[in-house]
Amino acid sequence: MTTILAQFADSTNDTSALLSCVSDANPFCTAEYAKAMQAGGRDVWIIVIETKDGPDAALALIRRGRLSTELEIESTPRSASEDF
């Protein structure tokens, strides 16, 4: 299983296309949701897991404060194992 990490850019068609492929199984993994989180001040990263059935993805949301940084993954990919 290969894992890829990419920063979400709403102007990139590749990231939107990837998220549209996995959004049926993961309602928190859509381009619209990622754009909304960016508008709220979060950095949005896409975690892609390549499986034998094709790519699967989850969004990683990063909130940076003055003294802290918070990483939130609201919904894991359907193909995620305990290794994820």
- Per-residue pLDDT of 65-74, as tens digits, reads 899 999 998 8
Q: What angle do CA 8, 10, 13 make, to 5 degrees?
A: 95
3-state class of 31 per DSSP?
Answer: helix
Confidence of residue 47 (pLDDT cuts 50, 70, 90): confident
Give the model's pLDDT for residue 70: 92
pLDDT (tens digit per residue) in 3-41: 666 677 665 666 676 677 666 667 778 888 888 888 999
In a domain, 81, yes or no: no
Q: For residue 77, is it within any domain?
A: no
Give me the pLDDT at residue 78, please: 66
Q: How many CB atoms lie within 10 A of CB 22?
A: 21
Number of domains in the chain: 1
Classify residue 83: in a domain, yes or no: no
Residue 5 to residue 67: CA distance in whole angstroms: 25
Asked if the structure places residue 32 within a domain, the reply is: yes
**Domain extent for 39:** 2-72
Model pTM greater than 0.85? no
In a domain, 39, yes or no: yes
